[in-house]
Amino acid sequence: MDTTSFAPNVASPRQPELAPSTGTKARSKRKWSLAAVLVLAALLGSLAGAVLVARAGDRVSVLGIARDVQAGQKITDQDLVTVSFAEDPGLSPVPASERNSVVGQIAAVDLRRGGLLTRSQLTAGGGLGDTKEIVGIEVKRGFAPRGELQPGDKAAAVLLPAQGAGSSTSSSKSSQTSNSDVIEVTVKSLSTPDASGAMVVNVAVDPADGARLATLAAANQVALVREPRGGN
């Protein structure tokens, strides 16, 4: 029987050599880029937190106005609220620690809800008026210096003739002007002028002149003149 022998295939095909993989390097670079982004994000987060903490450390507790208070009214505890405030050298709100001393003082100007309370808006409740009478004078535009009166100012309340008085009566009175036509007062508080320019000025006056001044003020027969501050 014939047999056929086959020589062993010694030249078996070799596995092709693979070029170095570029995909592995790309994935490695992406991993490093992602890690760098995460580290940067963490650093930025830490920095933002540090800034917030620093800013929070600069905040102080001050007094705010909880509801509207008219000039001349006594301030109550319900009129005040404690708020957190970032310190600003241009502002000087009253610290919350002085709340008890503020209660009982008088509003020197109209206080509006939501604002901060400053010392210039207050006048001591136990100062002017202890030995004086307080008269509220509603003065129209032109009957008081606009923007010049402040609590504590000395002023002259000039008593005016009644509206509609005869010219002869007015001329005779003008020739007889004396100190009795002027009452010395001290400004205690004042309101913000309204749309027409009118405002209410609360003044302290000697008891001997209080009733007379109030009567003429009710008839709109009073004008106010601020006296010089330098000599007082």
Residue ranges per structural domain of the chain? 59-123, 133-161+179-226
Closest CA to 97 of 57, 63, 136, 143: 63
Closest CA to 95 of 60, 120, 58: 60
Q: In 3-state terms, what secondary structure has residue 24?
A: helix
Whether CATH 3.40.50.720 fits 59-123: no
| Residue 230 to residue 97: CA distance in whole angstroms | 34
Say what the pLDDT of residue 78 is.
Answer: 93
Full 3-state SS string of 98-166? HHHHHCCCEECCCECCCCECEHHHEECCCCCCCCCEEEEEEECCCCCCCCCCCCCCEEEEEECCCCCCC
Type of residue at 144: A
Say what the pLDDT of residue 227 is.
Answer: 92
Contact 107, 70 (CB under 8 A): yes
Say what the pLDDT of residue 168 is.
Answer: 47
| Residue 163 to residue 181: CA distance in whole angstroms | 16
| Residue 7 to residue 145: CA distance in whole angstroms | 128
Contacting residues for 105 by C-beta, under 8 A, at least 6 apart: 74, 75, 122, 123, 124, 125
Per-residue pLDDT of the chain (232 residues; tens, 9 = 90+): 555 555 555 555 555 555 555 555 555 556 657 677 777 777 777 666 665 555 555 678 999 999 998 877 889 999 999 998 877 767 788 999 989 888 888 887 888 999 999 888 887 654 444 678 889 999 998 899 888 888 888 999 999 988 765 544 444 444 444 446 899 999 888 888 888 888 999 999 998 999 999 999 999 999 999 998 765 4
| Residue 140 to residue 197: CA distance in whole angstroms | 6
| Residue 87 to residue 165: CA distance in whole angstroms | 58
Say what the pLDDT of residue 135 is.
Answer: 92
Say what the pLDDT of residue 165 is.
Answer: 58
